[in-house]
Structure 1
Amino acid sequence: QWEETEKLEVQVMKMRSQILGAEHPNTLTSMENLARTYHRLNQWEQAEKLETQVMEMRTHILGAEHPGTLTSMGNLASTYHKQNQWEEAEKLEVQLMKMRTQILCAEHPNTLTSMENLASTYHKQTWWEEEEKLEVQVMKMRSQILGAEHPNTLISMENLARTCHRHNWWEEAEKLEVQVMEMRTHILGTKHPDTLTSMKDLAHTWKKLGQDDKAIAILQRTVNLQLETMGSDHPDTIDSIGNLARTYHSQNWWEEAEQLEVQVMEMSNTLRVYHWTHSQVWGILARTYHRQNWWKEAEKLWVQVMDMRSRIVGAEHPDTLTSMWNIASTHYMRKQ
């Protein structure tokens, strides 16, 4: 579908360029549309070339502070982001944030979006303090302007809580996540996907705080609600079951953990959908078999874990290499 769209948009762009001129607004719109199609095709270099041209021409024709120019800068920054070109993305996003603050004011939604995008780039550069400062600003301004219960405010709180995770500030994360979960429960209902995500985040934080009973209780509730609303074959349900299995495992509840781990393995195989969480759960099940001296079953699982991790993170990733070592270790024990 997108290949056909690309062919048509290339034709339109060329004809508009010939008839109207390269700098005509309609020609630039055609270039912008084609760049978006390249996004969908994951052809980032082609998108970057077009977006650079559009930004430069709009800057020349309309001026650096025109809304159309600012939109072009945002588009190009997004493309840099997709190509992991963090320095280039950061430079544009800093400019964009400053200009939108001057032109639109600090509280304008577009300015806040720019701040959020820049925070995301700081995250990719592991500049945690800079990321946190921006996220706190965005959260406070959205709360003042939109209200504490507005969806965008709750997203800002969620982002800040995840930054707290990276700093191991678990108590601060807990406060934010409890608020987000309670407000989403009140506004959206218990069964809404966003509420369920909040419950999962809070369970993770409680586990880190050593509050395993609370973590298990909320995870069990999350799994039951997801089974009811999404079904057993939904990826989010499978991930939640995996998280609950790992929590049981950490409590040495081997039988309960094994039952859930086998479920995750069977559902992953049925759907042929494999995520990082699944490889972790399979690894835990392999270790469970290992502890019970079920060497044949453990070895078979470690082989599957290694294959899965190779596909997800690559053959040379430390976790893939650990899986290979576990295969060798289990094979040795089997031969004893």
Structure 2
Amino acid sequence: LLSRHHTRQTTQNHTKWRPAVAVLGPDHPDTLTTRNDLAWWQGEAGDPAGAAAAFEALLADRLRVLGPDHPDTLTTRNDLGRWEGEAGDPAGAAAAFEALLADRLRVLGPDHPDTHITRTNLARWRGDAGDSAGAAAAFEALLADSLRVLGPDHPHTLTTRNNLAYWRGEAGDPSGAAAATEALLADRLRVLGPDHPHTLTTRANLARWQGEAGDPAGAAAAFKAILADQLRVLGSDHPHSHIFITRVNLARWQGEAGDSAGAVAAFEALLADQLRTLGPDHPYTLVTRNSLAYWSRHTGH
């Protein structure tokens, strides 16, 4: 569960910034904000490269109109870095967030929420660029500051603990990741309750690291219980991607625990639902077909 710095939203129609240009002019703050929102939703709609290009163009205008230290300019740099990473350039995203962090520290100081978010994003993209240990170290330092500034139960503190556990596991310590996630789950249950999406995500992360630490049967059992709760809370046809991801993980760990035939059956059922709800070309559908082929081989086919 990785933090995102969502831009502030307006009540304007995100798809109609050209009329805003005609009425207000290209440099009006509302026009620039509408362009920002349009670019953001372009990325959320599945076009990260287009979003990055739109933010790059917007940044040039915000620098010209507002200057380099205006909050909206800094936010646009944040969003540009995010979509650069989502478009396939994690190293470029990490470099962009490193430069942004220096300016946010200078303009806002070390304890401002936006500085905290920038440090989160920098650590995330550093990890995605291949430096898992560096990401874990960055989140460990960030956690100390979150505890000091925000307290142990603040959502950002809990998310930082989640991210630290994740990158600790990615850096080669799945047992440590499992232990940290188990401790986090206790606090998520206390603060958020059992049905909160973040609690369910933490349970899924714990199951994953249990499996990676050598307990595939325990991971499969945990994902089976998580799936039952997600279906109860969200419904079987809810567009929430976590249900599909949980079914993928359940099938995977069934196979890892020695039940290749059960994994095949689970992936076949999942594929049918994904073809019905997502279509044949969706990335999740393609991943499921790949996994189905993999486990079919393990059954002798």
Q: 1:223 to 1:314 in 2, by over 3 A?
A: farther
CA distance in structure 1 between the aligned counterparts of 2:193 and 2:273, rounded to whole angstroms: 24
Equivalent residue, structure 2, for 1:52: 18
Counterpart residue identity of residue 271, structure 2: M
User: 2:56 maps to what in 1?
Assistant: 94
Matched, 1:169 2:131: yes
Shift of 1:167: 0.8
1:204 aligns with 2:166: yes
Shift of 1:53: 2.2
Q: CA deviation at 1:206?
A: 0.8
Q: Structure 2: how far apart are the matches of 1:301 and 1:128?
A: 33
Query: What are the Cα deviations for residues 300-329 of structure 1, in whole angstroms up to 9, with x where unaligned?
Result: 534444345546764453322134436756
Matched, 1:278 2:246: yes
Q: Cα gap change, 1:332/1:130 in structure 2, threshold over 3 Å: closer, same or farther?
A: closer
Q: Is the 8 A contact 2:223 2:249 kept in 1?
A: yes
Counterpart in the other structure of 1:150: 112
Distance of 2:34 and 2:270 partners within structure 1? 44
In structure 2, relative to structure 1, the CA distance for the partners of 1:180 and 1:284 (3 Å cut) is same
Q: Where do 5+ consecutive residues of structure 1 fail to align?
A: 1-31, 40-46
Kindly indicate whether structure 1 or structure 2 has the higher relative contact order, using CA contacts under 8 Å at least 6 residues apart.
Answer: 2
Q: Distance in 1 between matches of 2:129 and 2:151?
A: 31
Quick one: distance in 2 between partners of 1:126 and 1:259?
34
1:77-156 equivalences in 2 (<5 Å): 77-84=39-46, 89-156=51-118
Alignment partners' CA distance in 1, 2:98 and 2:218: 40
Q: Cα gap change, 1:166/1:292 in structure 2, threshold over 3 Å: closer, same or farther?
A: closer
Correspondence 1:179 to 2:141: yes
| Contact 1:164–1:170 under 8 Å retained in 2 | yes
**Secondary structure of residue in 2 paired with 1:233:** coil
How far apart, in 2, do the equivalents of 1:159 and 1:76 lie? 21
Q: TM-score, normalised by structure 2?
A: 0.79
* Deviation by residue 1:244-282 (Cα, 9 ceiling, x = unmatched): 122121222245334423321322333336614312331
Asked whether the 8 Å contact 1:200–1:240 carries over to 2, the reply is yes
Could you tell me how far apart the structure 2 residues matched to 1:223 and 1:132 are? 29
CA distance in structure 1 between the partners assigned to 2:86 and 2:62 by the alignment:
23
Structure with more helix by fraction: 1
Q: Tell me how far apart the structure 2 counterparts of residues 262 and 72 of structure 1 sit (CA, whole Å).
A: 43
Alpha-carbon shift at residue 125 of structure 1 (Å): 3.0
Change beyond 3 A, Cα 1:105–1:242: same
Spell out structure 1 runs of 4+ moving beyond 6 A.
330-333
Q: Post-superposition shift, 1:157?
A: 0.8
* Equivalent residues, number: 283
Q: In 1, are the aligned partners of 2:49 and 2:84 still within 8 Å (CA)?
A: no
What does residue 325 of structure 1 align with? 293
**Structural RMSD (CA):** 3.1
Seen in structure 2, the aligned counterparts of structure 1 residues 174 and 329 have a Cα distance that, compared at 3 Å, is closer
2:30, 2:231 → 1: CA distance?
48
Q: Is the 8 A contact 2:139 2:160 kept in 1?
A: yes
Identity of aligned residues (%): 21
Q: What is the CA deviation profile of residues 151-202 of structure 1, one whole-angstrom value per residue up to 9, with x for unaligned ones?
A: 1111101111111122111222122211222222223322333222211111
